[in-house]
Structure 1
């Protein structure tokens, strides 16, 4: 049996991590056809099929899963060794992949990214805006940014910015025609602008007051999947929306929206940068973490 090359094993690991030739090819910076050819060569070398391929999906065979389990620690150790070598040469370098939702991406671009790129010009930052809460390890990201309450427990979390507040808002014109709700249950008699999550599920509005928590599956004829659109629709009098206050602030300041159920909408812990607990932290990620902390210190 011919001994596989490092490039072949690295290519296999990328496909196994992404379960997609297109995504793995993009991550490696090669064409999909070249990657497919490399994997065919690897399978010929080891004499066993490692991947199940269809026109729509890629999955590991039993042999492929065994190979991945064996080489993954080695590849991670090699990455760590190369990263330490880069540190010894000087400033952090290489590619840093961060997954964040839309509001987090906006915050990073406004506060963190300019400072980070100015201090570490040798780092290539790949910032992916994604509404889904993805497994950052499985999808090949170095770190993610989400609400602190959504960060998986096996991750290290670093605060990014302050608390956030989700608020129920409506236009004065709408409230002139409808009784103002006093409790979350009163929303059942209102037109609400519902929120479809990236998973496809409808979001159930969550309220809290003096330790009492309520979750309401609100009615409504309009469903949207973007906080800014929901705030805009509420300002146009189409119903009550439940959005981050930052998304509604422009309309609140202009008097085109007002808060309802304000005492049921307390602040909650805001965004957090998170990364795997038990893996080597690359120098580029460590520099990004330090930049986030510096930004927090200046804001505080």
Structure 2
């Protein structure tokens, strides 16, 4: 456990995040018994139970949930202060925790590889998940998402190319079905539907000449993972709607064919985002600097506030 003098509070946050003493102990590198003792000692001292424990589950009590919501931002500020002091050292070191969607993480991997090669004393803890979380409460230094899903109270640092979405299907599918010319034509097609992390079904978004259209795509198959959608589309089960980055290899190989291209204009791409605060951890500053270097090479966008959210794109 980090030797910050706040080990009991760090223990509570870890257990709250993982909903498991064993998983939390593994993550922060202590024994389960040591972690349990730290939490129990804090509960005994304040005279309030923070967790409901059974043999199968761990959950926050009402008091525990309020406690975690209060201390998480404060501990984040303290961690930043410690990192700030460490930034006076010549060597960038420490652990950088980043939360990202799986697709964003795949696209960012070349950046992460270059970052770890440049700063061998840094460690990167990357967690991928579909749902959009509060990175401060969950203990992350930064997140990576498409620009229009970045929370408004965060500082966003765009990187990489702009994104476009693509509607694609297999040659075998189009041998049996006439390609759509307008989004409305999709109502006559079998579509592979997308379930969002919230459980809602994503409506396909299109725009041309200032006209925006959203289609509730119909189909027999609903999925929540891009690789599965690609596999289903290759098998001829229907049309799918994914980013160009996801479908580029298939388009080049001819295993998928694109339609409605003139209805999918470029959109802002990925952003690394972090809380708007004065002191930024040294490792995160170094990563931001690498992103800026890449942006300068491309003549790309600069750091800015995130755009107004248009929808729950992944």
TM-score category by the smaller chain? 0.7 to 0.9
Identify the residue that residue 28 of structure 1 maps to in structure 2.
28
Of the structure 1 ranges 222-231 and 71-80, higher mean CA displacement relative to structure 2 is found in: 71-80
Deviation at residue 208 of structure 1 after TM alignment: 1.0
Alignment of 1:269-288 (within 5 A): 269-278=268-277, 280-288=279-287
Deviation at residue 73 of structure 1 after TM alignment: 6.3
Q: Write the deviation string for residues 210-239 of structure 1: whole angstroms up to 9, x where unpaired.
A: 111111111111222222332333233222
Deviation at residue 74 of structure 1 after TM alignment: 5.6
SS of 2:242 mapped into structure 1: strand
Identify the residue that residue 58 of structure 1 maps to in structure 2.
59
Whether the 8 Å contact between 2:181 and 2:260 is mirrored in structure 1 is yes
1:81 aligns with 2:81: yes
Identify the residue that residue 305 of structure 2 maps to in structure 1.
none
Identify the residue that residue 99 of structure 2 maps to in structure 1.
99
Q: RMSD over aligned Cα, in angstroms?
A: 2.5
Q: CA–CA distance in 2 between the matches of 1:297 and 1:82? A: 31
Q: Write the deviation string for residues 67-110 of structure 1: whole angstroms up to 9, x where unpaired.
A: 873x5566445423322321222222111111112222122212
Q: Write the deviation string for residues 167-201 of structure 1: whole angstroms up to 9, x where unpaired.
A: 11122332232222122121111111122223333
Of the structure 1 ranges 5-14 and 114-123, higher mean CA displacement relative to structure 2 is found in: 5-14
Identify the residue that residue 215 of structure 1 maps to in structure 2.
214
Q: CA–CA distance in 1 between the matches of 2:262 and 2:73? A: 51
SS of 1:169 mapped into structure 2: strand
Is the radius of gyration larger for structure 1 or structure 2? Answer: 1
Q: Write the deviation string for residues 19-72 of structure 1: whole angstroms up to 9, x where unpaired.
A: 553454344222333211211122222333344445434224438735873x55
Task: Flag the 1:276–1:178 CA change in 2: closer, same or farther, 3 A.
Answer: same
SS of 1:213 mapped into structure 2: strand
Deviation at residue 282 of structure 1 after TM alignment: 0.8
Aligned residues: 294
Identify the residue that residue 309 of structure 2 maps to in structure 1.
none
Of the structure 1 ranges 185-194 and 49-58, higher mean CA displacement relative to structure 2 is found in: 49-58
Give unmatched runs, 5+ long, in structure 1: none
Alignment of 1:168-187 (within 5 A): 168-187=167-186
Q: CA–CA distance in 2 between the matches of 1:242 and 1:226? A: 12
Deviation at residue 124 of structure 1 after TM alignment: 0.9
Q: CA–CA distance in 2 between the matches of 1:227 and 1:73? A: 33
Q: CA–CA distance in 2 between the matches of 1:272 and 1:169? A: 25
Q: CA–CA distance in 2 between the matches of 1:255 and 1:6? A: 57
Q: CA–CA distance in 2 between the matches of 1:131 and 1:167? A: 20
SS of 1:88 mapped into structure 2: coil
Whether the 8 Å contact between 1:16 and 1:68 is mirrored in structure 2 is no
Q: CA–CA distance in 2 between the matches of 1:20 and 1:278? A: 31
Deviation at residue 204 of structure 1 after TM alignment: 1.4
Task: Flag the 1:22–1:198 CA change in 2: closer, same or farther, 3 A.
Answer: farther
- Give the TM-score, by structure 2 length: 0.84
Whether the 8 Å contact between 1:163 and 1:269 is mirrored in structure 2 is yes
1:265 aligns with 2:264: yes
Identify the residue that residue 140 of structure 1 maps to in structure 2.
139
- Give the TM-score, by structure 1 length: 0.87
Q: CA–CA distance in 2 between the matches of 1:278 and 1:209? A: 39
Q: CA–CA distance in 1 between the matches of 2:22 and 2:207? A: 44
Task: Flag the 1:133–1:23 CA change in 2: closer, same or farther, 3 A.
Answer: farther
Q: CA–CA distance in 1 between the matches of 2:102 and 2:73? A: 33
